[in-house]
Amino acid sequence: MSRIPELTARTGITLVVQYELLPTKKLMSVPNNATAHIRRSRVIVLILAAWNDEDPNKLDEVRSATTELRRILLQGERTIPESLNTGYGNYGER
């Protein structure tokens, strides 16, 4: 998390990392082949980015900053192979 203030100061992007700590006992009780939903015991992480200017090049900075945070988070979890630790996008944008 110490990297967030540095990225914000450099880019002007507000960055938030949110951990979703949800109980998974019921979810994990369903067999893996019963539905298409990914069922693994893991923490869900959401990286949010917000900015005010209309600069069309800002999106490249946003992608770079959020990718860097994603790499930091994945490196911190070494007990899960990367193939099982990549997730997917499940949130919309404005």
Structure confidence by residue, pLDDT tens digits, 49-79:
999 888 888 889 999 999 999 888 877 666 6
Provide the pLDDT for residue 90.
57
Provide the pLDDT for residue 46.
86
Confidence band, pLDDT 50/70/90 cuts, at residue 81 = low
The answer to whether 49 and 14 have CB atoms below 8 angstroms apart is: yes
For CA atoms 27, 19, 54, 65, the dihedral sign is: negative
Structure confidence by residue, pLDDT tens digits, 9-33:
999 999 999 887 777 787 788 887 8
Q: DSSP assignment of the chain, as one string?
A: -THHHHHHHHH--EEEEEEE----HHHHTS-TTSSSS---S--EEEEEEE-----TTHHHHHHHHHHHHHHHHHHH--SS-GGGS---------
Provide the pLDDT for residue 80.
64
Provide the pLDDT for residue 24.
76
